[in-house]
Structure 1
């Protein structure tokens, strides 16, 4: 999973993710937006589920994040619609609205996000 951090014209941090992981980037861009308390919650949840079969989820405005001891899934809330409700030809957008990655990889992105915010 590749990613790049940048600042927009207003100085806000944005992340661009590699193909197949765009939803992760959108989660950071839409849900986190500098909300370090949310990142703290995710890191605490990751520590809490380690060595167990428990799962944790955070439902945001645009995206929902699920994690267990091995994997993270981020899905756009709009995908919670039943499959029959989507118009014909709209399914290909799912790839930009759903992403999976390993928990350790996701925690590494969080650490890199924090480092970028601090100018390191």
Structure 2
């Protein structure tokens, strides 16, 4: 998973990620927005589910993050089609709205994000 952090003129941080992981970048940009308490909450949840069959989720304004012992899933909240909402033969492009990654990879990005924010 490749990523890049950019600081804008106002001091805000924007995350961009490689194809297939765009939803994770959007999660950092929309749900974290520099609030390290959000990362603290997710890291505590990772520790809480480790060694168990439990799952944890954090529903945000735009994106929901699910995790278990091995995997993190980030999905746009708007990505919930039910039944026959789309015409037959049509498909929904969700590459930028859904992301799967390993817990260790996600924690590595979170640690790099934290370090970037703190100027390390």
TM-score class, shorter-chain normalisation, is over 0.9
Match of 1:22 in 2: 22
Q: Which residue of 2 aligns with 1:8?
A: 8
Hey, which bits of structure 1, 4+ residues long, moved more than 4 A? Answer: 86-90
2-structure distance, mates of 1:4, 1:108: 13
Q: d(CA) in 2 for partners of 1:86 and 1:24?
A: 26
**C-alpha distance in 2, partners of 1:53/1:24?**
23
Q: Does 1:91 align with 2:92?
A: yes
Equivalent position SS for 1:19: coil
TM-score, normalization by structure 1: 0.93
Deviation string 1:63-114 (CA, Å, 9 cap, x unpaired) is 000000000000000012326324675612x011000000000000110000
85 and 10 in structure 1: CA distance in 2 versus 1, 3 angstrom threshold = farther
- Structural RMSD (CA): 1.4
Quote the residue 2:105 is aligned against.
105
Single out whichever of 73-82 and 55-64 deviates more from structure 2: 73-82
CA-to-partner distance for each residue in 1:12-71, whole Å, 9 max, x for gaps? 011100000000000000000011111110000000000000000000000000000000
TM-score with structure 2 length normalisation? 0.93
For structure 1, the 5+ residue unaligned runs are: none
Query: How far off its partner does 1:8 sit?
Result: 1.9
CA offset at residue 9 of structure 1?
2.7
Q: Which ranges in structure 2 are unaligned for 5 or more consecutive residues?
A: none
Q: Which moved more, 1:96-105 or 1:2-11?
A: 2-11
| Alignment partner, residue 68 of structure 1 | 68
